[in-house]
């Protein structure tokens, strides 16, 4: 009964979404407050109904109710409880339900916290969001229904894909969806604005927090996915340019561009058309990613739904939303007035530069992802556009961006002088060069590129705080005065600093691991000792262990290095009985920012095994960088600049009261 209540709640959510897709927008059109207010109750209600449905599905998973086909094919009664929960979205149907729930969640956020928005804009946004909801609820109910039943219920389930039986599944998909789906709000804002609202600086200010929230989650979600793939797949790589990874990376690139261009639009009312376009494109890319993953066009760890029928359905959704929004855009964009003017060398100029390169990077990744698919459709040939393509194109595009990154925040709006900004960065530049020289001096046989790369990372990391240091002005104000000034700095400035810092830290990790990584592949027998980068790994033998729904062979290593604490590593070979699938669990030890990574081949009966050992210097920086970026986003989000509302009337300055009263 609980399962059926969940099913019914999902259907109700669809009915309410249909109402919400009409009434608020109609109300905005005829300026009717009652009609517009409908969205404010329906949006949270839809979310609650979908959440109820999600809870019902979760209940079915936790109690192993295999009369639900979805539960039966993706879980097993022996699973540990945590994986019974995560199994809910470790499959196509359940994850689509999560997708829709997050979509509704964002709509309800707008309904509840959108008090500072003009009523008509809010109503229109809620209606547009409801259109997307209707489309995807229909998709879930008719092609991917997790509540389909079977009688009699099989006694045992098929278990979750063993690769997904990991804590990573608890974090990565929800985070990523919050990011992916979060950009639906900026899309809705763009459509709502074009439906008769205003497209000006105010709009950019309203849309920016939503873009920030989505961006924070998308950044964290992608990074989490990267780390998960790194430790779970056992190949030791952290990014594979896999089409599905790219599908999440493209929206990230265009979303990052959107964050920056919205800044220009907000401050200077320039780049209006471009910002609108980015808002549309970012969500379109999210939809495209969904299509690529769900349609069976691609095969990868993520493509658990290879069903052409679903593919066609998503393709139709894709065409309607992308086609419709671009058509509307074509009509409206011509009527927009040009905004504020600016010189090429100015904050605006720097942000345009940023957008140019980010957009090019996004386009490059898009081409690299779609090209093999298109070729396959045309002549059936299977080609692979792998790492070499992306390394040759993506790197050079990002390079100028990184070089100029510290400079941007130092330029003033409208018109800036290049030289004062360069002067402020002089100390940073000297430090970066010093770092590069030190790297050259202390490493042997390493390419010069590594030294330059680490120097560049130092430039970005130190440069990230150049603006804060300049504003604190310790030289003039002294330590106390400087600190006092730092306290007064707007949070958005810290947000920028941490975001840029994150890029530098990530670059440091990427350069460190690609230049200085050590790899070793050996066949070893018990009692053998392997040495890598000064670490001695002694192989003690194999211990058989029985887990809840698997059996495993745990290899025990004692690792020691003179002057450091000894520790144990236990790489493991697992066998999941229900799916009859083996998995390899790598063993990883983090030592400061570097990691020792041990992975296994097949274990022979005498205990000998092919071992892959990596020393990965600075690799933690890659994910630490992403963490700083997300943190930067959160700090920016807390800036009060983003919370301007009518309620704050009393704080107005008397000096300008006269003007306010005049208008």
Partner 1 sequence: MTFWILAAILAFIATLCVVMPLAKNKDELVPDIQLDKALYRARINEIDQDLKLGRISSQQAEAAKSEEGRKLISIAKFEKADEAQSTSARSINFYRVLQGVCLISIPIISLSLYLFLGSPFIPDQSLASRISADPAGQSLEENVSRVEAHLAKSPNDASGWAVLAPVYTRMNRFNDAANAWSRVLQLNPKYPEVRSMIAEALLNTTGGVVTKKARDLFLAELKINPASAKSRYYIALSLSQEGRFEEASKSWQLLIDGTNPQAPWLATAKQYRDDAMKRSGIKPSPKLELPKGAITKGPTKEQILAAQKMNDKDRNLMIQSMVDGLAEKLNADPSDQQGWLRLIRAYNVLGNNQSAKSAIYTAINAHASDVRFIASLNEIQQMMEKQDKQK
Residues numbered 348-387 forming contacts with partner 1, rule: CB under 8 A: none
The minimum distance between CB 401 and partner 1, in angstroms, equals 23
How many residues in the chain? 663
User: Using CB under 8 A, which of 21, 25, 50, 65 touches partner 1?
Assistant: 65
For the chain, the distance separating the N- and C-terminal CA atoms, rounded to the nearest angstrom, is: 61
Nearest in space to 462 (alpha carbons), one of 491, 436, 492:
436
Nearest in space to 209 (alpha carbons), one of 646, 638, 648, 647:
638
User: Using CB under 8 A, which of 80, 154, 308, 400 touches partner 1?
Assistant: 154
x/- letters, 111..130, toward partner 1 (CB under 8 A): -----xxxxx----------
User: Using CB under 8 A, which of 323, 324, 481, 490 touches partner 1?
Assistant: 490
Phi-psi region at 424: left, alpha or beta (left = phi > 0; alpha = psi -120 to 50): alpha
**Beta bridge partners of residue 524, listed in sequence order:** 609
Tokens 């920056």 label which residue? 260
Question: Binding of partner 1 at residue 343 (CB under 8 A)?
Answer: no
Which residues 6+ apart lie within 8 Å of 295 measured at CB?
305, 306, 307, 308, 310, 311, 312, 314, 315
Question: Binding of partner 1 at residue 2 (CB under 8 A)?
Answer: yes
Is residue 528 within 8 A of residue 539, CB to CB? The reply is yes
Tokens of 541: 């033998």
Question: Binding of partner 1 at residue 651 (CB under 8 A)?
Answer: yes
H-run or E-run covering 244: helix 243-268
x/- letters, 450..489, toward partner 1 (CB under 8 A): --------------------xx-x-----------x--xx
Number of residues that bind partner 1 (CB under 8 A): 84
| Residues in region 622-641 near partner 1 by CB under 8 A | 641
User: Using CB under 8 A, which of 484, 525, 604, 648 touches partner 1?
Assistant: 648
Task: Output 525 or 640, the one with its CB closest to partner 1.
Answer: 640
Question: Binding of partner 1 at residue 40 (CB under 8 A)?
Answer: yes
The minimum distance between CB 161 and partner 1, in angstroms, equals 18
User: Using CB under 8 A, which of 51, 55, 109, 153 touches partner 1?
Assistant: 153
Question: Binding of partner 1 at residue 570 (CB under 8 A)?
Answer: no
Nearest in space to 260 (alpha carbons), one of 356, 353, 351, 359:
351
User: Using CB under 8 A, which of 379, 384, 605, 649 touches partner 1?
Assistant: 649
User: Using CB under 8 A, which of 519, 577, 590, 602 touches partner 1?
Assistant: 577
The minimum distance between CB 244 and partner 1, in angstroms, equals 30
The minimum distance between CB 144 and partner 1, in angstroms, equals 12
Is residue 66 within 8 A of residue 151, CB to CB? The reply is no
User: Using CB under 8 A, which of 54, 106, 147, 177 touches partner 1?
Assistant: 147
Which residues 6+ apart lie within 8 Å of 342 measured at CB?
268, 270, 348, 349, 413, 414, 415
User: Using CB under 8 A, which of 21, 127, 145, 284 touches partner 1?
Assistant: 145
Question: Binding of partner 1 at residue 659 (CB under 8 A)?
Answer: yes
508: Cα within 13 Å, side-chain hemisphere: 26
Task: Output 8 or 239, the one with its CB closest to partner 1.
Answer: 8
| Residues in region 254-293 near partner 1 by CB under 8 A | 269
Task: Output 391 or 412, the one with its CB closest to partner 1.
Answer: 412
Question: Binding of partner 1 at residue 423 (CB under 8 A)?
Answer: no
Question: Binding of partner 1 at residue 37 (CB under 8 A)?
Answer: yes
Candidates 361-369, 513-521, 595-603, 644-652: pick the segment binding partner 1 (CB under 8 A): 644-652
User: Using CB under 8 A, which of 25, 38, 401, 629 touches partner 1?
Assistant: 38
Nearest in space to 490 (alpha carbons), one of 431, 409, 556:
409
The minimum distance between CB 111 and partner 1, in angstroms, equals 11
Could you write out the three-class secondary structure of 320-375? Answer: HHHHHHHHHHHHHHCCCCCCCCCCCCCHHHHHHHHHHHHHHHHHHHHHHHHHHHHH
Tokens of 130: 């409801």
SS3 577: coil
């Amino acid at each position: 009964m609980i399962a059926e209540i969940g099913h019914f709640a999902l259907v109700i959510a669809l009915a309410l979404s249909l109402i919400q897709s009409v009434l608020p927008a109609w109300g905005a059109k005829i300026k009717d407050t009652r009609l517009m207010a409908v969205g404010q109750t329906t949006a949270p209600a839809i979310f609650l109904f979908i959440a109820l449905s999600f809870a019902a599905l979760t209940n079915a998973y936790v109690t192993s109710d295999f009369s639900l086909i979805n539960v039966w094919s993706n879980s097993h009664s022996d699973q540990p409880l945590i994986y019974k929960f995560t199994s809910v979205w470790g499959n196509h149907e359940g994850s689509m339900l999560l997708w829709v729930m997050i979509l509704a969640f964002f709509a309800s956020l707008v309904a509840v916290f959108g008090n500072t928005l003009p009523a008509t804009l809010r109503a229109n946004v809620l209606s547009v969001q409801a259109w997307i909801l209707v489309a995807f609820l229909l998709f879930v109910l008719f092609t991917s229904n997790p509540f389909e039943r079977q009688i009699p219920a099989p006694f045992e389930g098929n278990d979750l894909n063993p690769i997904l039986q990991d804590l990573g599944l608890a974090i990565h998909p929800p985070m990523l969806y919050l990011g992916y789906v979060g950009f639906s709000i900026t899309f809705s804002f763009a459509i709502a604005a074009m439906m008769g609202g205003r497209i000006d600086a105010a709009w950019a200010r309203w849309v920016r927090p939503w873009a920030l929230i989505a961006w924070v989650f998308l950044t964290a979600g992608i990074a989490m996915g990267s780390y998960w793939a790194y430790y779970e797949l056992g190949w030791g790589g952290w990014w594979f340019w896999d089409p599905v990874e790219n599908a999440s990376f493209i929206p990230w690139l265009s979303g990052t561009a959107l964050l920056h261009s919205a800044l220009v639009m907000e401050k200077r009312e320039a780049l209006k058309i471009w910002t609108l376009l980015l808002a549309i494109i970012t969500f379109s890319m999210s939809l495209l990613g969904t299509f690529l993953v769900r349609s069976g066009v691609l095969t990868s760890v993520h493509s658990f739904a290879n069903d052409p029928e679903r593919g066609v359905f998503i393709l139709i959704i894709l065409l309607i939303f992308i086609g419709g929004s671009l058509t509307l855009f074509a009509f409206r964009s011509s009527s927009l007035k040009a905004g504020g003017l600016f010189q090429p060398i100015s904050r605006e100029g720097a942000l345009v530069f940023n957008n140019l390169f980010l957009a090019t990077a996004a386009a490059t990744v898009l081409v690299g992802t779609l090209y093999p698919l298109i070729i396959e459709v045309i002549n059936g040939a299977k080609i692979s556009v792998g790492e070499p393509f992306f390394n040759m194109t993506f790197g050079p595009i990002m390079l100028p961006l990184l070089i100029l990154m510290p400079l941007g925040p130092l330029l003033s709006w409208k018109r800036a002088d290049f030289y004062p900004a360069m002067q402020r960065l002089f100390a940073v530049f000297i430090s970066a060069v010093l770092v590069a020289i030190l790297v050259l001096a202390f490493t042997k046989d390493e390419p010069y590129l590594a030294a330059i790369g680490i120097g560049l990372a130092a430039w970005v990391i130190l440069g990230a705080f150049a603006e804060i240091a300049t504003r604190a002005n310790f030289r003039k104000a002294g330590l106390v005065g400087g600190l006092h000034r730092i306290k007064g700095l707007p949070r958005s400035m810290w947000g920028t600093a941490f975001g840029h810092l994150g890029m530098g830290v990530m670059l440091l990790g990427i350069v460190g691991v690609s230049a200085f990584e050590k790899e070793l592949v050996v066949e070893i027998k018990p009692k053998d000792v392997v040495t890598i980068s000064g670490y001695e790994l002694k192989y003690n033998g194999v211990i058989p262990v029985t887990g809840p729904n698997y059996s495993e062979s745990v290899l025990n290593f004692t690792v020691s290095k003179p002057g450091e604490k000894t520790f144990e590593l236990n790489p493991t070979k697992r066998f999941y009985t229900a799916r009859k699938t083996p998995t390899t669990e790598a063993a990883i030890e983090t030592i400061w920012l570097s990691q020792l990574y041990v992975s296994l081949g097949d274990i022979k009966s005498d205990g000998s095994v092919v071992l892959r050992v990596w020393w990965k210097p600075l690799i933690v920086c890659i994910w630490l960088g992403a963490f700083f970026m997300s943190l930067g986003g959160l700090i920016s989000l807390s800036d009060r600049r983003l919370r301007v509302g009518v309620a704050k009337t009393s704080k107005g300055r008397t000096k300008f009261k006269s003007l306010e009263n005049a208008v």
